[in-house]
Structure formats: C-alpha cells, structure tokens
Structure 1
Amino acid sequence: MSRWKILLEKTLWKHIGILAGSAVVLLISIFFFLKIYTLHGQGAPVPDFTGLTEQQLQHLINSRNLRYTIIDSVHIDNMPKGVVIEQVPGAGQKVKKNRRIFFTINAWTEEQVAVPSLMDYSLRNAKVILESFGLETGDLIYIPSEYTNLVLGQHKEGKPVEPGTLVPRGSKIDLLIGRGLSSETTAVPDMIGMTLEEARRVARSVSLNIGATIYADTVATATDSLNAFVWRQNPPSQRGFQLNLGASIDVWLSIDEDLLKPDEPVELPEQEITDDFGDEFF
C-alpha cells in the first residue's frame, strides 16, 4: 500500500471520529440546555383548592405564580355555594410557573327544574312524576269531584303553578285531589265576563270545579289566553239551579267583547207542530 493511500485512510477516519464526537457533544449540550430552559424536575406541587371560594383561592394562586380559569359549575346540595369541587391538575401534581389551573365550582344559584303537568293523573302517578323531576309532593288538598283520587290542580305556596314554570329542585308541589261527589248542593255561580283564573277561584269558593275550557278562534296568543273571558258557561247560572258539590262547569272563552252584549230579541219563525197521528196544528 502506498504512503498516500495510508495517509488518506488515516485522515478519513480522523474526520469521521471528529464528526461523531461533535455530534455527541452537541446532543449532550442540547439535553442540558433543555433541562435548564424547561426547569425539568423543578415544578412545585399544586395546592388543594377544594372547598375554597374564588376570592379565597386568588391569593394562593398569585403566591404560587399560577393562573386559573373556572370552566364549569354544578349543583350539590350539601356543599357551600361557590366553592371549588374539582381541579385540574389535581392537588399534589407538580407544575411549573404560570401553569393554568382549571376549576369546577358549586353553583351559586339553586338548580331550576320545570314543573310538569299533573292534571288528570292519578295521585300515585303524579307522585312518581314529581319525583322523576326532582320535586316533592306537598300537601294533598281533597276537594269534591266526580272523580276520585284524580289530580284536579297543582299549587305552590298556596298559588296555582302552571306546567313549565321553573322552580328550585326539591320544591314541594301541593296537589288538589278529587274525593268523589258530595250529597250537598250549591247554586251555580255566574262567571260570565271573568278570566279563566277568576272563574276557577269562584268555582272553588263554592266547592265546584271548572270542567272543559273551550277557546274561540280569536284567542291566538298566550296574551290572548290570559285576557280571554268567559262568555258562556254550562250549566248556566239560573235562580234555583243547584249542582252537587264537586261537580264541574264547562266554560267558553273569547276576547270578543261583543259577546258580552245582551242579546236582542229575535222573532222566531212560526213552526208546524204535529201529533202522533200526523194532524197539523198552528
């Protein structure tokens, strides 16, 4: 082998060795740089914020050079309102400065649920429905009715509550329950011109119920429904006309005030009357 060839081979291996050594040094340098830059292993444990309000946790957050965001709220009955119930990262996990902590807190306001429609359900079914909505059965108010153990009304704190009304979870709903007809009777009240709610109050005051409610075509909106008045009732209010306690009165409602005007006398056409034998009488 010539001197030049040997010299070239030595130079080649020398360069390869230099490149390999440089690569190892570069990798070690990068590793130590990243360790210093990211403060590897120098994170501080996250405090336990559970049970603290937002105002209470702010000082602790600032003293640890951390940041936070409240991402959600839930309702738990047996915990104070506004306190932290969950955090991410969890307590004890090591994090670096300026890390953001995410909190879930107990809601400040009570959870609201919609009141279901309980009318015309049996008492047993009404109780099951209330429980499924997170509500409780309140007082049972038995009233005379031709129906026994049927829900005829729903109240909250002594006032009627419409289906869909939002109330706090756990609220008590009082139920008006039919207990069958009474042998006692009462005069039929005159409800012409009253709103439906006024008619219901008047009917209850004499131990009667409102039966069918028939709205005219002119009642097109929710406001119309509130303003609609009774223009016809069956049975009508007549002197000496009596109903058993608990019986129902059907009402027709409209917003057309012309229906309240007294009817003008109408001359009826003369009709033919026949007896069983076909003879005509005039």
Structure 2
Amino acid sequence: REHSEKYDGVIIPLSIATSFPTGTYGFVRALCSKHDHKYAIDPRTPLFQRDWDRKNVRPPHEKMAEIMGGPFKGKGLTSKLEPSDFSKKSTLNQITKNCLDFQMDFKARKEDVRKINKYKEMLGIKKLDNLDNPQFLIPPYFLFETPSDEWYKININCIQQAIEMNLDVPIQPILHFKNWPNSTNWQEILKSLTESNISSCWLYADNYKEHEQDLPSLKRYREAVKDTDSKGMKPFVLFGGYYAILMRYFGLLGFANGIGYGE
C-alpha cells in the first residue's frame, strides 16, 4: 500500500490465481480500484517441462493442469512434458485457447464479500471499480535453447495461435531462455516475433546470475535489449536483477519479478 507509486501493476502466477481465486481476485480488484494499476496472469507452463517429485502433486499444480488441459492434465502430472506431446496442431490450439480464456475470464469472478472487504480495508478504499481485462495476455511458453529447438517452435506456434484468436487485448509473450544470452540467435527470434505482429515481449533468462557473468555475456545482454528496442519492439525483463534494471538506459521498457519472488 505505501509503495504503490513505485509500480504499475502486478503479474500473478497461474498457480496463485487458480489456488486462491477469490482472494487473488479481491486483491487485484482492490489494487486496480485504488491506484489504477494493471494486472496480467503468467501461465508458468515451463513448470511441466521440469523434473520434480510427482508422487505427491500439490493442489496448485493440479489446478494449473486442469485449466491448461491436454497433456498438462494427463502426462504433465506424472512425468515431464516433451515436445512430442504437442505434435498435433489441435493440441497447441486448445491449450492456447484454454490459457487465454482463463486470463480473459478472470475479471468476471464472483465476489466473496468477506475477502473483498478485507482488501478494501487493507488499501484504504470504500468503493471498488469493476475489474477490467488484463493489461496483456501471455500465451503458453516453454524453456528453449536456440531457434532450432523444438520447444522454441512450440512457443512460436502458441504465439501465432494467440494472435489468431483476435482478442481485444495485446499479446505479450514470454521468451524463456536456457542459456541467455550466450547461445541465442536473438536476431532470428526478433524476426519471428515481428513477423507474428508482436510489438512487445518479456525476456526471461533461466537462472541467469548477473553478478557471476563475465563482461562479454553482460554486453551481449545489453546488445539484445538495444536490438529489440531498435526494431520498434518494447522489451521487458522478467525475474531479473540490478543489471536488468540498468537496461532501461538501453531501451528496456519495464521490469517485473512477480508476486512472491525471492521469498
């Protein structure tokens, strides 16, 4: 509440939006009413690519899988997903639709009066405005290494399907890099995004520890941000550090860490 002027909105992980829907809705609606902030929902789909103990699957993961459908609901709860699980175009179309439908429908949740009042009191407001659409929509996305990676192709297909849905909200994809920026052909990726009529994107480097990188790696990071900006595309960074924040001097438009990051 006391720091509301320092940020423009919140990015909500799908796991939180599905596990605590009423509380999340109440918080977001109150926040947007008080400060005219915006919100978006991060599908966090790379979770299902990873190895983790699926013997005792947590309810948030089950609810995420239920929303996404397809291989998430079946295989994704028993073992990690592979590119072959998305070989059918109909599968990609359906999971993208499920993902974006949830984001678009979030504003229409029924209120829990008790929880709504809690957040009204927390933010010091008496009246709540209706919750609007998300500021932007995030299609399903996956961790990839290079543009020749099958996971990258799946990412692009999900982005294209999201565009084809013709929703009245901008599509702002997350690009989740495995070896950012060392082994990524960023020019090729930029070309694919511009050809898909994407005007803004999130750069999400997996486990990129800025303070441990050498100078050439940091320079490649800076050049990628500058190249993105020079092509007329608005770059944002997700889950970065102090170096990422400094990229605002080279064209970075925004920065986010998500709710609960660093706990």
TM beyond 0.5 = no
Higher relative contact order (CA 8 A, sep 6+): 2
- TM-score (normalizing by structure 1): 0.19
- TM-score (normalizing by structure 2): 0.20
Q: Which has the larger radius of gyration?
A: 1
The structure carrying a bigger strand percent of its residues is: 1
